[in-house]
Amino acid sequence: MIIPMARVRLIGRKDELPQALAALQDAGTLHLATPPDDVPRHAPSARERRRRRDLERALADVDGALAGLRGLDAAVDEAAAAAAAPAGRAAWLAARVRAQTTARVRERQALTDERAALAAFAPLFAELEALIGETGARRLFTVHLLRLRGDGPTTRRLRDVLNRTLGPHELRARTLPDGEVAMLLLAPAARAAEVERLLADAHVESAPVPLALGGGTLVEALARLRPRLAAVDARLAAIAAEAGELAARIGPTLVAARRSFHDELAELAARALAGETPRAFVVEGWLPATGVAGLTARLAAAVPGVSVAEVARAAWHSDDAPVVLRNPTIFEPFERLTAMLPLPRYGSVDPTPFVAVFFPMLFGLIVGDLGYGALLAIVAAILWWRGGARGWSHDLARIAAAIAGYTLLFGLLFGELFGDLGARALGLRPLWMDRHEGILPFLGLAIAIGLVHLVLGLVTAAVARRRHPREAAGRGLAALMMVLIGVVLATMMKLLPGVLFTPALVVLLVALPVLVVLEGATALLELLTTVGHALSYARVMALGTASVMMAMVANQMVGAFGGAVVGVLFALVFHLVNFAIAMFSPTIHVLRLHYVEFFGTFFDPGGDPYRPLSRWSPEPCPEGP
């Protein structure tokens, strides 16, 4: 539900504004608003504008310094308690640490790249060392380091040419991380010129010795490989230790400075929203109606000279008030689904309770299988086990549990356990409807649920717009006409006594011009659109029938492949595919039925989120006091 809000006005001496704003930040409940047009706005002074620029620059340095420490894998404790340093010293320190960490991040990246390059060649260098052995053998051979793309035919052709032309030689290859192939060719020194010509004819280029090894020949670089790797590792360890020490020593100061800078910037922004005269200030804003007394008492204790008065409801517009949603615990997870759309406008209706009831019910109606319901329950248990006390995983677990409950319920009513496996193996029978054979009754059920859903939306719209009698009457009449259309269709399908057909049709024809008078000529088009929306609930039948048919096809695979084991494996794979489809397809289509068809009857988007003035925290502030 959308909780009621109150607008309050704070009035005090002009010199008390900083203390009042500090008390509001401590309270963290007042969403600031602009004062009335007849009250002059606070004009930021040159000093305040300069201070804002300095704070924004210092805050960018603090964020850059903390990001640099994180980039060096140095943990900074966000909860570390540290007294805020003087603003000037904190800004200077942040700029210094930012420059230092930026340089270290660049250095570490260069060292990491160098180490990766050296490590890629290390196995070949080790083989070179084993091949050439003593210093005397080194004078008898020339060593070539080749590098070519990972092309198997090219490598084989090169081997064939070398075998035919050179005779005795050694060729070793390694695949590098980038996909290229590094090759080490050891050939007689007397045939060095011939080797160069063969490589040029084959369009194979010699790879240069890594610059980190000082250039020169491979044999000369061999002695420098291991010391350089050790030096790189030592420097990387030193950078990590330096970053860890810096995070432990200065991290808490940076965290405290970031909090202080954010709070001061918020105070400056709040001052810009205040009204003031030469002697007094005025601050207005919204908060939950239940929190007015608490805020009044808090301000009376902190700034006794400030008066707090609640603005009469007739003096402000609903469109200006921020929106706070609060639902019972059982409905709270479904706010994740309604949050995908803009907030409802203040004074309208929160759709969360409707989604909490109809979304899992329609999902369960589509899947409707005891086996798949059990699998959904397992998924919900895993999400619950892996999720924390709050968060996406925890809420998804509760949504999945509701879906699993409805899926199990409809599975029992339809008599389905992995399709018709329950009927075959356990003699399971439907308690209500056989979806496999009763396609038309299932279609009627889906459309009937759609009619109920949309009529509920129209009634909700009529109640929400009760302050506008003409609109409320139009929505209520549209709801009545949808019921009458349902009665007419039900009598035509012989689901209701035929005696109801004529009265329902007469009332429907009489109500039609009244609806046009109330809502205009477009009301007829909207009514036809709503009827079309009700028919679109047939997708519930289509998806449910497709799911049970796929499950039955999976069961028939057991005897379709000759061997029982192969058939069971194919059946399991098909059931897993069907279950995966049952996880996603109903979600998409049921959400569409809510967002497009159902919400279109009453949902009024455009609400502003409730963002009270408060002390800054790295975690987003919870909505509501």
Strand 170-175 and strand 181-188: the pairing is antiparallel
CA 603/CA 616 separation, integer angstroms: 33
Q: Per-10-residue mean pLDDT for the chain, 625 residues long?
A: 92 92 93 83 86 92 91 80 74 90 91 76 62 51 64 68 69 63 69 74 61 55 71 90 89 89 92 89 93 93 91 82 92 92 91 95 95 94 80 89 96 92 88 88 92 95 88 92 91 87 91 89 88 93 92 79 72 89 92 94 91 83 42
Q: Are 287 and 8 in contact (CB under 8 A)?
A: yes
Secondary structure percentages of the chain, helix, strand, coil, to 5: 65, 10, 25
For residue 131, what are the contacts with CB-CB under 8 A and spacing of at least 6? 141, 170, 186
Q: What is the pTM of this model?
A: 0.76
| Predicted local distance difference test score (pLDDT) of residue 136 | 44
Closest CA to 5 of 469, 466, 614, 607: 607
CATH 6.10.140.120 fits 120-225, yes or no: no
Confirm if 375 and 580 have CB atoms less than 8 A apart: no
Structure tokens at 8: 């309050």
For residue 64, the model assigns a pLDDT of: 92
Contact 235, 111 (CB under 8 A): yes
CA distances from 593 to 306, 539, 589 (A): 51, 9, 6
Integer-rounded Cα radius of gyration of the chain? 37
- 594 Rama sector, left if φ>0, alpha if ψ -120 to 50, beta otherwise: alpha
Q: How many CB atoms lie within 10 A of CB 369?
A: 33
**Residue for token digits 């018709």?**
420
Neighbouring residues of 34: CB distance < 8 A, sequence distance ≥ 6: 41, 273, 284
Is the alpha carbon torsion for 465, 467, 468, 469 positive or negative? positive
Q: Given this model, what pLDDT does residue 32 score? A: 93
- Tokens representing 401 are 């549990």
Query: What is the residue extent of each domain of the chain?
Result: 5-90+241-320, 120-225, 328-434+538-603, 438-535
- Residue 410 token pair: 């409809």
**Residue-level pLDDT at 555:** 83
Whether residue 230 contacts residue 583, with contact meaning beta carbons closer than 8 Å, is answered with: no
Can you give the pLDDT at residue 442?
A: 92
Locate 262 and state its tokens.
Answer: 């954010």
